Amino acid sequence: MNIFECPHEQELLDAIQASRWPDRAEAALRAHVDECAVCRDVATVAPIVMGATEGLAGVHVPEAGAVWLRAQWRARAEAERLATHPITAAQAAAIGCAAAISGALFGATSAWFQGDLAGLAGMFDKVGAWLPTAVSPDGVVSILAAHATLAVGTAIAVLLAPVAAYVVTRD
């Protein structure tokens, strides 16, 4: 037998449950409880805890109908949120693509923008004069000038990607 359990525990619990403990319980059980530490604790704790459940009928809980309606409302709201989630993702992706294409077209067709880009390339040229010869600024400038549309589109996509990712995953 373990020190933390006793074979008479259930017998004692039955007596407590049937309100026979202690006065109407068998003398042998009472004698055992006097000597057994486990049963003594059970005899101290169980009647009080069981007694605390007597007023259970007086406990106020919400109406079953109200809880059911709230559960339905929440389930519906969650289902709607799940249903709209893919739409939000598609919309965000579409906006991102449209913005990237618009930017690329603007970059390819705007004389003002290309003029500024050439200015930027000139600036690179000046900065490049200060750089070690190992890195050729002329190469960078010529690549930028030759693929202006691609460069602008890539820059816009890079800028828009975190925004699109945020919009898609914000839920």
- Six-digit token pair at 23? 């006065």
Q: What residue type is 92 in one-letter code?
A: A
92 binds another protein (CB under 8 A): no
Q: How far apart are CA 70 and CA 76, in angstroms?
A: 10
Among 1, 27, 61, 134, binds another protein (CB under 8 A): 61
Give which of 121, 125, 131, 128 is closest to 151, Cα–Cα. Answer: 121
Task: For another protein, give the closer residue by CB, 60 or 126.
Answer: 60
Q: How far apart are CA 20 and CA 28, in angstroms?
A: 13
* Contacts made by residues 30-35, CB under 8 angstroms, sequence distance 24+: 32/8, 33/8
Stretch that binds another protein, among 51-59, 102-110, 135-143, 158-166 (CB under 8 A): 51-59
87 binds another protein (CB under 8 A): yes
Residue 168: count other Cβ atoms within 10 Å of its Cβ.
17
Among 18, 71, 131, 159, binds another protein (CB under 8 A): 71
85 binds another protein (CB under 8 A): no
52 binds another protein (CB under 8 A): yes
- Six-digit token pair at 3? 């020190």
Residues that bind another protein (CB under 8 A): 2, 4-5, 13, 17, 38, 40-42, 44-46, 48-53, 55-59, 61-62, 64-65, 67-68, 70-72, 74-76, 79-80, 82-84, 87
